[in-house]
Amino acid sequence: MPTRSYAQQIGDAGQALVEAWFEHPCWVARKQSHDFGIDLEAELAELIEDRKQRMTGKLVKLQIKSSAKVERGEAHIAYPIQRELVHYADAFRLPVILTVACLETRTVWWLWLQEWSMLHEQQLARHPEAATVTAHIPIMQTLERDIATELPDIAVGSSSSAMILALRNMIEAASGWENRAVAEGVARLLGEVHGESRSWTLQKVIDKLLAMGEATPFWEAQQVLPIMNGLIEVAGDSFTRDQVIRLVARGETYSRTGLIGLSRLYDLWPDQMRALGLVNGFAEANIAELAWYCAMRERYPMEPNAWFGMSLVMMDDPNLSHGGYRITLDNDTRDYVMAIWPNRGDSVLLDCLHIEGSSQGTD
């Protein structure tokens, strides 16, 4: 005869408990016929005359976990979440809510997985090999308290976290947009909405550049320029030394697009860049050309948008030597920089570098 395990009984009872809470005037719940990580879908409803409900099209997805008894602390319950469930939730454009049902107390706690993931990125990155991560859910964060208040706000997307998540999704899709003003605007808005999200977004842009590889054509790498420029304008002061190095370095060489970003960082945030110790940072990374460039930016500070490369070579006898590299200025070098700078930016300076004591060439 077929048997029904105790675990199945617990799971079915927990599902019934959660479904019962969503038998609510604010919601219409639908079971998912094929469970691949989502057990229930709930649509926000507006109550109108004669107890009728008007559907809004605002949805949340629910993953239901059940226990005969959930151990509680004074302020939180500690619940282990499968890491792959967190990654799966992050892929959704709709809110995914984890519910934890305790059959002993008939209590259901909830957690908005995408928001939790966003706020605990460092925890998730600390042990990437771990199959589970522990979430601490506030003891008061229950469906009984929040079914008609907090959850509708999440479904509508009116919270600050919802705005940040939406902008993040947009900025991931923004690479390559022809409308650069829109891409830059999204980046600026994200930087202004929530300071803690800056580091994440900077990292995404850097990772995008790194994923292109060392031999990526300049025009292709430029697809991320609108996002990068927008972020630098609003969040350049939040770059770490490691992030700047990762932005520009490609092994023991460099990205021309990344150098455009570095140049803009020095234009807009010179004091912060100097404080990062980039000259030593690039020297320690064995990229002496970039150490030279940072030394020049700090030796000859200029106003933003001063066209640093062209202004540098037009100076009267500047000291262009650092770390065993130099540019020897003559008419050919100046003509070369003036002709090539509009297309290559300050990276043309690195084309002109030569090791001190050797002959100079601009080929």
DSSP for 243-306 reads HHHHHHEETTEE-HHHHHHHHHHHHH-HHHHHHTTHHHHHHHTT-HHHHHHHHHHHHS---TTS
| Low-confidence stretches of the chain (pLDDT beneath 50) | 361-363
Nearest CA among 35, 32, 26, 249 for reference residue 148:
26
pLDDT score at 361: 47
pLDDT score at 177: 52
pLDDT score at 232: 82
pLDDT score at 131: 92
Select the CATH number that applies to the domain covering 6-156 from these four: 3.40.1350, 1.10.1510, 3.30.70, 3.40.50: 3.40.1350
Domains of the chain, by residue range, sit at: 6-156
pLDDT tens digits, one per residue of 60-95: 999 999 999 999 999 999 999 999 999 999 889 899
User: Measured between alpha carbons, how far is 84 from 88 in angstroms, rounded to an integer?
Assistant: 6
pTM over 0.75: no
- Amino acid 30 reads R
pLDDT score at 214: 58
pLDDT score at 123: 80
- Report CA 153 to chain centroid distance, whole Å: 23
User: Measured between alpha carbons, how far is 148 from 163 in angstroms, rounded to an integer?
Assistant: 21
Q: DSSP per residue over 111-173, as a string? A: EEHHHHHHHTHHHHHH-TT-SEEEEEEETT-BHHHHTTTHHHHHHHT-SHHHHHHHHHHHHHH
- Amino acid 322 reads H
pLDDT score at 198: 61
CB atoms within 10 A of CB 21: 20
Question: What are phi and psi for residue 300, nearest 5 degrees?
Answer: -125, 75
pLDDT score at 263: 93
Query: What b/e sequence results for 213-234 when a residue is b if at least 16 CB atoms lie within 10 Å of its CB, and e otherwise?
Result: eeebeeeebbbbbbbbbbbbbb
With 0-12 CB in 10 A as exposed, 13-18 as middle and 19+ as buried, what is 127?
Answer: exposed
Nearest CA among 231, 185, 179, 181 for reference residue 209:
231
Q: Which residues pair with 61 in a beta bridge?
A: 41, 96
DSSP H or E segment with residue 228: helix 225-235
Q: Which residue has the tokens 């229930």?
A: 40
pLDDT tens digits, one per residue of 261-291: 899 999 999 999 999 999 999 999 999 999 9
End-to-end CA separation in angstroms for the chain: 83
User: Measured between alpha carbons, how far is 146 from 16 in angstroms, rounded to an integer?
Assistant: 18
Nearest CA among 258, 164, 181 for reference residue 212:
258
User: Measured between alpha carbons, how far is 143 from 148 in angstroms, rounded to an integer?
Assistant: 9
Assign 56 to helix, strand or coil: strand
The residues near 255 (Cβ < 8 Å, ≥ 6 apart) are 209, 214, 216, 221, 247, 248, 249
- Amino acid 92 reads F
CA-atom Rg of the chain in angstroms: 27
